[in-house]
Amino acid sequence: MAKVQVAPYRCTDCGWTTAKWVGRCGECQAWGTVEEVGAVRARTTAVVASRTPAVPIGSVDIAAAHAIPTGTPELDRVLGGGFVPGAVLLLAGEPGVGKSTLLLDTAATWARSGRRALYVTGEESAAQVRLRAERIEAIADELYLCAETDLGSVLGQVDATAPSLLILDSVQTISSAEVDGAAGGVTQVKEVAASLIALAKSRDITVVLVGHVTKDGSVAGPRALEHLVDVVLHFEGDRQGPLRLVRAVKNRFGPADEIGCFELVDDGIIGLADPSGLFLGDRRNPAPGTCVTVTIEGRRPLVAEVQALIAPTSAPQPRRVTSGLDSSRIAMMLGVLERRAGVKLATADCFVATVGGVRLAEPATDMAVALAIASSAADRALPAGLVAFGEIGLAGDVRPIGSLERRLAEAHRLGFTEAIIPARALRARGPAAGPPAGMRIHEVGSIHEAIATAQRLSRTDTSDPTRQEA
């Protein structure tokens, strides 16, 4: 008697097949994506006539693809102007960071402009969302609310209300009866996302999906979800503080890596048009180990302060602790300072952090990090009106950076009078480029020269009784 052939198991992400079930795909190494399926046959054939025939690209109407302002300037900055009809957005963030508050406030502002919005909650009851809406004053006549966890019911609510904005909180709580698996699984999340994307494109509805994040901060569920949507936003911030950052990781309609700054208050969330002051400490009496830099987030210059603490230790393995900075980048800076600048750090604990919870990932912040560490090691404070920016290489050289004029202008606007920058950085931009009036520029070519310049400015600043305070 012939054996009955067992249906193979196939990975829903890459298509890898196996004769038995395994928890991890042997091809793409994804967990929980191997499912039992039958024989795969090609069933899709070409239709006789398409409902939307191809037309010359020059005759395509682009009026429907223009962004509509949301009423929240900081969110419009991140999105590239506002919500685009037919676009699908994914907002990811840690629990309790304020995703629902931001979207509920945005939906209410959208509804007050005469457009209809539908807020679908799968994690809370409608009464709970209503209480939050009253607290943040997000009550509007054109804002509709429902609590659903079934995809078919959600689509039915869309048919009944005909909104121009659909917010789904969250995509991991919605499931489809047509697909096997629990809500939040790979198959369910893909089915829900595919159905909502088709809905958005066919009816020109802006769809916002709320996604959970994993322990490392990435979007939970299949990574293919990030490729399917048009915009991916990360909602960041310390839950212990009021500052929140919305960062654009992917944007098909505007600049990527743009950020919007918000402050979470008792009665809702408000945008911060000028957040630079939040990332600065008290500059009237600067302490050793602090240095100010200017980073570029998208198109926005942000003035931020880097703090370092060097403490001697007798432990065989000195600690290297960072907050708001890349730990591998800090380890490289410590090695460069030890080898190229003669700063002894091998027997000391090094703590490096940023002020205000901002995260600095740009290489242009290397100069400020190095000067802060050297200042703490020498126990000598840098001048209050000093800013520094520049990329440092492994040879100890200081490399040019981009957007130098914008960095200098932002620092000058906040009252800084001294700047340490890479050598020949301004001259490379032509004769018209120059520092703002009243700001002195110190060009350096190596980290050793940068530390010597900072020490000289520190001695001058200490000896001058009429020094300016930033």
pLDDT one-digit tens code per residue, 326-366? 999 999 999 999 999 999 999 999 999 998 778 898 999 99
For residue range 176-213, list pLDDT tens digits in order: 988 877 788 778 888 899 999 999 999 999 999 998 77
- What CA–CA distance (Å, rounded) separates 193 from 468? 57
Residue 224 corresponds to which amino acid?
A
Is 60 a domain residue? no
Q: Is the peptide bond before 59 cis (omega within 30 degrees of 0)?
A: no
192/137 same-domain check: yes
Is 340 a domain residue? yes
Is 334 a domain residue? yes
255/363 same-domain check: no
The CATH number that applies at residue 126 is 3.40.50.300
CA atoms in the 13 A half-sphere facing the CB of 418: 22
**Two tokens at 66?**
């223009």
3/91 same-domain check: no
Is 390 a domain residue? yes
pLDDT at 242: 79
pLDDT at 172: 87
- pTM of the entire predicted model: 0.76
Cβ-Cβ contacts under 8 Å for 440 (sequence gap 6 or more): 417, 418, 419
252/135 same-domain check: yes
Cβ atoms of 102 and 109 within 8 Å: the answer is no
28/73 same-domain check: no
Is 46 a domain residue? no
257/319 same-domain check: no
pLDDT at 307: 95
Is 434 a domain residue? yes
| Positions in the chain whose pLDDT score sits under 50 | 1-4, 39-40, 42, 463-470
Query: In this structure, are strands 259-265 and 243-251 parallel, antiparallel, or unpaired?
Result: antiparallel
Cβ-Cβ contacts under 8 Å for 356 (sequence gap 6 or more): 241, 243, 278, 279, 280, 304, 305
**Two tokens at 115?**
């457009």
247/365 same-domain check: no
pLDDT at 259: 86
3/119 same-domain check: no
Per the structure, how many domains does the chain have?
A: 3
User: Among residues 273, 289, 307, which one ends one of the domains?
Assistant: 273
239/361 same-domain check: no
The CATH number that applies at residue 392 is 3.30.230.10
- What CA–CA distance (Å, rounded) separates 361 from 391? 12
- What CA–CA distance (Å, rounded) separates 226 from 180? 22
pLDDT at 237: 80
Residue found by looking up tokens 């001259």 in the block: 427
Is 57 a domain residue? no
The residue range of the domain holding 27 is 1-40
- What CA–CA distance (Å, rounded) separates 401 from 205? 41
User: Among residues 229, 248, 273, which one ends one of the domains?
Assistant: 273
281/335 same-domain check: yes
User: Among residues 273, 305, 337, which one ends one of the domains?
Assistant: 273
333/232 same-domain check: no
Is 51 a domain residue? no
pLDDT at 215: 59
207/146 same-domain check: yes
